[in-house]
Amino acid sequence: KRHLISAADLSRDDALLILDTADELAKISERSIKKLPTLRGRTVVNLFFEDSTRTRISFEAAAKRLSADVINFSAKGSSVSKGESLKDTALTLEAMGADAVVIRHGASGAPHRLAGWVRGSVVNAGDGTHEHPTQALLDAFTMRRRLGPLEGRKVTIVGDVLHSRVARSNVLLLNTLGAEVTLVAPPTLLPVTVDSWPCEVSYDLDAVLPKSDVVMMLRVQRERMNAAFFPTEREYSRRYGLDRDRVAKMHDDAIVMHPGPMNRGMEIAAEVADSPRSTIVEQVANGVTTRMAVLYLLLGGADLGGEIQ
Ligand code: CP
């Protein structure tokens, strides 16, 4: 495959190949080998039109650990603020020789458009409310490391599904990998198309928690909401927040996830975010390894076994 734009583009074999490659890369880095020469001479451009901490930094770290050259572009401070279009920005980067363009954009569908304009691989690092496929891959990688194979595992995704590209990509990928997903959200924060998604829907978090192997909390995305539709923090936390009392309903081995950034005290209590069940910091570390696997496979890096002798 040339691009990674949607989790729906990944067959079960594609997804397992990425996760197994990430496992192999994690084992290599556990042997204190920090840098591999496999993408030497290749150029990865990080094209970020929306803010990011984790995704931008981890794609940069991933490309550098594979010895690629990295160009970081953020819309702030660029000619985008003078009105330059996505297409002209993309063609400018293309002229500089990008082998892969990692794009985050506020418009759903921007990575798909970009793929029609550039010769290199396009990786979707989050487009509007549409998808964030590498987040779903790093989440699946984290679940596999904690729980083993995902077939039959019960994953509950809670919160602002309406604005969440993370939720959509996770539902698609987890379904491909054989997990059973339940979404829990206020009716006003579910997309109207949710009936066609391959998952269950519930409005009762307390009823779903005891059956869950994974509880993934989503950020309430105020920046994408009309202020009139903000849920009040108290009411939202009372019905959909994960606090100590709710965690007590989960089984002993169940884990708590959050893609970050978190609204501590709203969708997740600070003591839950920092508890041993929480994989939030592991998710960030696993993001680098998973994104290394994606870049390595898309750019056809040299054989890992041969490179590390
Ligand atoms: N999870 C995630 O996409 O975080 P950033 O917005 O910080 O990249």
Q: 102-127 pLDDT, tens per residue?
A: 999 999 999 999 999 999 999 999 99
pLDDT at 34: 83
- Specify whether 14 is located in the same domain as 128: yes
Q: From the CB of residue 218, how many other CB atoms can be counted at a distance below 10 Å?
A: 27
**Residue 87 marked ligand-binding:** no
Residue 198: which domain range? 133-279
Q: From the CB of residue 24, how many other CB atoms can be counted at a distance below 10 Å?
A: 16
ipTM greater than 0.85, yes or no? yes
Question: Which contiguous run of DSSP H or E holds residue 27?
Answer: helix 12-30
pLDDT at 303: 67
Asked if the model's pLDDT at residue 306 lies above 60, the reply is no
Percent of the chain with pLDDT over 90: 79
Gap from CA of 203 to ligand 1 centroid (Å): 26
Which atom of ligand 1 approaches the CA of 125 most closely?
3
The residue whose CB lies within 8 Å of the most ligand 1 atoms, and thus the one to mutate among 49, 51, 55, is 55
Q: pTM of the predicted model, to two decimals? A: 0.94
- Specify whether 144 is located in the same domain as 201: yes
Measure the CA–CA gap between 48 and 11, rounded to whole angstroms: 27
Kindly list the distances between the CA atom of residue 82 and the CA atoms of 28, 299, 302, in Å, as whole numbers in the listed order.
Answer: 44, 33, 40
Is position 1 within any domain? no
**pLDDT band at 308, cuts 50/70/90?**
very low
- Specify whether 275 is located in the same domain as 300: no
Burial of 166 (0-12, 13-18, 19+ CB in 10 A): buried
Q: Whose CA is nearest to atom 4 of ligand 1?
A: 54
- Token couple for 32: 């204190």
- Specify whether 98 is located in the same domain as 176: no
- Specify whether 159 is located in the same domain as 85: no
- Specify whether 213 is located in the same domain as 186: yes
Is position 139 within any domain? yes
Is position 34 within any domain? yes
Measure the CA–CA gap between 73 and 142, rounded to whole angstroms: 29
Percent of the chain with pLDDT over 70: 95
Specify whether 104 is catalytic.
yes
Is position 157 within any domain? yes
Q: Which of the following is catalytic: 56, 65, 104, 168?
A: 104
**pLDDT band at 229, cuts 50/70/90?**
low
Kindly list the distances between the CA atom of residue 184 and the CA atoms of 41, 204, 242, 286, in Å, as whole numbers in the listed order.
Answer: 46, 7, 12, 25
- Specify whether 235 is located in the same domain as 295: no
Q: Which of the following is catalytic: 38, 55, 134, 156?
A: 55
Is position 2 within any domain? no
Specify whether 1 is catalytic.
no
Using a 6 Å CB cutoff, which residues line ligand 1?
Answer: 52-55, 126, 135, 259-261
- Specify whether 41 is located in the same domain as 77: yes
- Specify whether 15 is located in the same domain as 105: yes
Residue appearing with tokens 């920005």: 89
- Specify whether 247 is located in the same domain as 303: no
Is position 291 within any domain? yes
* 178 closest CA partner among 148, 153, 147, 157: 153
Specify whether 244 is catalytic.
no
Q: Whose CA is nearest to atom 1 of ligand 1?
A: 259
Instruction: Please say whether the beta carbons of 34 and 309 come within 8 A.
Output: no
Specify whether 54 is catalytic.
yes
Q: Please write the tens of the pLDDT for every residue from 122-144.
A: 999 999 999 999 999 999 999 99
Is position 295 within any domain? yes
DSSP state of 186: -
* 196 closest CA partner among 209, 183, 205: 183
Amino acid found at 291:
R
Q: At residue 197, what are phi and psi to the nearest 5 degrees?
A: -80, 150
Q: Give me the number of domains the chain comprises.
A: 2
- Token couple for 161: 């599904």
| CATH number of the domain that residue 161 is part of | 3.40.50.1370
Is position 18 within any domain? yes
Mean pLDDT of 171-188: 97
Q: Please write the tens of the pLDDT for every residue from 271-302.
A: 999 999 999 999 999 999 999 999 999 998 76
Measure the CA–CA gap between 284 and 18, rounded to whole angstroms: 17
Gap from CA of 261 to ligand 1 centroid (Å): 6
Specify whether 53 is catalytic.
no
Q: At residue 121, what are phi and psi to the nearest 5 degrees?
A: -75, 145
- Specify whether 162 is located in the same domain as 104: no
- Specify whether 269 is located in the same domain as 294: no
DSSP state of 194: G
